[in-house]
């Protein structure tokens, strides 16, 4: 199981996530998020070790990431598309009562899908879980890798992995002390549990 730690705002948190075995790190550039990084404040991202995937995270992708060190761009709405479609992670925000068929046509022109819970107040990072049965059906039907997000933490990640069988899991608020400030013990535990599920 691959693990993405999202909403990283500090170099020390990024380095600890890598040390604990994270496969990908998410850096939020959605200005409405409490975890948003300003482009100039993120220079240290380029100094992180190689062989960990770096993702520029947006709600609405209205501009290209300012730095060239990102491997993927993630977004819900796309005003600007990455030059290469496989470099795109398309977020599907799941609402109660929806069916897998509702998402069949939304999976084009992306390298991977990320499933998160729909909330009016924010694009992500709200701590709300998705319907795992719906998520599992989307995983079964998708021809692209599916990343499961939405309310994951150390207490539920193993059950989520067993029920949904995603390509990877994504966590933000579930490993935090405060918005954008990671709890290292929670990160370590989450990564270990996810990878052993």
Residue ranges per structural domain of the chain: 2-196
The H or E element spanning position 73 is strand 72-75
Burial classification of residue 47, based on how many CB atoms lie within 10 Å of its CB (0-12 exposed, 13-18 middle, 19 or more buried) = exposed
Give the Cα separation of 76 and 93 in Å (integer). 8
Annotated catalytic, 6?
yes
Catalytic residue among 6, 13, 131, 170: 6
Mean pLDDT of successive 10-residue segments in the chain (197 residues)?
A: 97 97 95 84 84 93 80 89 77 83 69 82 64 93 92 97 98 95 98 97
- The pLDDT of residue 72: 92
- The pLDDT of residue 110: 85
Tally of CA atoms within 13 A in the half-sphere of 183 that contains its CB? 15
Catalytic residue among 13, 116, 131, 170: 116
Q: What is the CATH number of domain 2-196?
A: 3.20.20.70
């Amino acid at each position: 199981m691959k693990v993405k730690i999202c909403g990283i705002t500090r170099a020390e948190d990024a380095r600890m996530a890598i040390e604990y075995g994270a496969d990908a790190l998410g850096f939020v550039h959605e200005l409405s998020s409490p975890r948003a990084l300003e482009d100039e404040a993120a220079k240290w991202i380029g100094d992180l070790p190689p062989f960990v995937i770096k993702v520029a995270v947006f709600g609405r992708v209205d501009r290209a990431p300012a730095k060239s060190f990102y491997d993927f761009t993630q977004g819900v709405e796309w005003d600007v598309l990455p030059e290469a479609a496989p470099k795109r992670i398309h977020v599907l925000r799941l609402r109660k009562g929806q069916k897998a068929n509702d998402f069949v046509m939304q999976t084009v022109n992306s390298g991977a899908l990320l499933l998160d819970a729909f909330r009016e107040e924010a694009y992500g990072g709200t701590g709300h879980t998705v319907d795992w049965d719906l998520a599992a059906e989307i995983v079964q039907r998708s021809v692209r890798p599916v990343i499961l997000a939405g309310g994951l933490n150390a207490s539920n990640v193993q059950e989520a992995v067993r029920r949904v069988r995603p390509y990877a899991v994504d966590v933000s608020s579930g490993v935090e002390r405060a918005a954008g400030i990671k709890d290292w013990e929670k990160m370590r535990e989450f990564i270990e549990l996810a990878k052993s599920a």
